[in-house]
Amino acid sequence: MRRVVVTGMGVVSAIGTGVDQYREAIAGAKGGIGPIETISTERLTVRTAAEVKGFDPAAHFTQTELTALDRFSQFALVAAREAMASSGLTMDETLAPRAACIVGSGAGGQLTIEEGFRRLYEEGKHRVPPLTVPRYMSSAAVSQVSMALGLKGPSFGVSSACATATHAIGLGFQMVRGGLADVAVVGGAEAPLSMGCIKSWEALRVVSKDTCRPFCKDRTGMVLGEGAGIFVLETLDAARRRGAPILAEVIGFGMSADAGDLLSPSPEGAARAVRAALDDAAIAPEVVTYVNAHGTGTAANDGAETKAIHQVFGAHAPTLMVSSTKSFHGHALGASGAIELVATVMAVHDGLVAPTLNFTTPDPECDLDYVPNDPRHEQVDVALSNSFAFGGLNAVLAVRRFAG
């Protein structure tokens, strides 16, 4: 099997549009959670989110293009353009049929759906815009990215709630490693900050009214976010031939299902996914330095994830650095795994380990090193990125520092 490396990445998030802004926020421990500004909060109980502030669609797209683009697809395209540009890859007619595109979304075009309902039920109109369906379908982002970049290989969307992007990236990794594709443009995108979506999350009673405090005793829940993360994966041999920048090597991918409760996470199910990633990478648990945790800030998730880490790593668990970047950019649902992998790649490439922000009093049941509040600068040889979704859908990626 072929070795697979990351040669490009792009990100749109509450802590910055573009990798440079994202890195600056991580290094400066500056989060993006705050009062909701993009919609009215008059009827909301939860009035805090991690929005992509100052995003001007007109700066990236023509008015004609925007008629076909929901906000989540806009995010995907901006991140994909950055990822492709940073990789230096040129798509030609020889490579295009061997270039896969897998971009997932958990919620799809929520803003388009809500706008259609508003026109029909509030304004009493009899029609919605003609491109409503291709805007809101959850595969809209992957269609737009494949068309914009000229990718003609295997292309499809993935939807597995909060594990969506990690599944998409892992599947792309497997395609390139196994020879089904030579390049894969992969990731996730989400724009769920609509009135209906936020009210739905309020009904679950898992959303914090102030901020996200993963692993803390006084945590009060998750904070919704939005954004996108996109990566360019290719074979190591191809990247070397063209002198491409190598940001990290993807070495393992693990999946599992809890096959249990729709909402309550299972430590055993999560642990199986982590072990599967380590087995796929053919590495021992002891070589892992850093874990980018799912870390939602909910009572159930954080405790279950901590137990899963103890189950897999045993005596090595207390030596791990474990952090949740959702404390920076919120929980972007189907995009979270991709936005978090940006931080994971930075850990192995730059030695920049993201902290867990807003950290207060540790929960006695959460007893690991969560890198509280301040970033660290340490060499990270191997890191994991965890994603554990509603329905018990688990996915874990393993990446390694590329040393030549």
Distance CA 189, CA 72 (A): 6
Mean pLDDT of 332-355: 98
Q: CA nearest 326: which of 187, 160, 208?
A: 208
pLDDT in tens, 253-286: 999 999 999 999 999 999 999 999 999 999 999 9
Using DSSP, state whether 336 is helix, strand or coil.
helix
Q: What is the pLDDT of residue 213?
A: 98
Question: Is 294 among the catalytic positions?
Answer: yes
Q: Which two tokens stand for residue 117?
A: 């309902």
Fold equal for 4-241 and 252-400: yes
Domain spanning 4-241: CATH 3.20.20.70: no
Judge whether 91 and 99 are in contact, CB under 8 Å.
yes
Rg (CA), the chain: 20
Which DSSP letter does residue 106 get? S
Please report, for the chain, the start and end positions of each structural domain, with discontinuous segments joined by +: 4-241, 252-400
What is the arithmetic mean of pLDDT over 42-65?
A: 96
Q: How many CA atoms lie within 13 A of 76 on its CB side?
A: 36
- Give the model's pLDDT for residue 275: 98
Strand partners, 216: 362
Catalytic residue among 167, 294, 329, 349: 294
With respect to CATH, is domain 252-400 assigned 3.40.47.10?
A: yes
Is 101 one of the annotated active-site residues of the chain? no
Find the catalytic residue in 101, 162, 212, 366. 162
| pTM score of the predicted model | 0.97
Q: What is the mean pLDDT of residues 361-368?
A: 96
Give me the mean pLDDT over the 193-212 stretch.
96
Average pLDDT, the chain: 97
CA separation for the pair 106, 143 (Å, rounded): 15
**pLDDT for 403 beyond 90:** no
Beta-bridged to residue 394, according to DSSP, are 256, 388
Centroid of chain to Cα 214: 17
Indicate the helix (H) or strand (E) that contains 275.
helix 267-281
Strands annotated E in 48-108 = 48-49, 99-104
Please pick, among 167, 329, 331, 349, the residue that the annotation labels catalytic. Answer: 331
Among this protein's residues, is 126 annotated catalytic?
A: no
Measure the CA–CA gap between 381 and 111, rounded to whole angstroms: 41
- The pLDDT assigned to 29 comes to 98
pLDDT of 1? 87
Q: What's the CA gap between 65 and 73, in Å, rounded?
A: 11
pLDDT, mean of residues 335-351? 98
404 pLDDT above the threshold of 80: no
Looking up tokens 């020879």 gives 179
Query: Tens of pLDDT along 279-319?
Result: 999 999 999 999 999 999 999 999 999 999 999 999 999 99
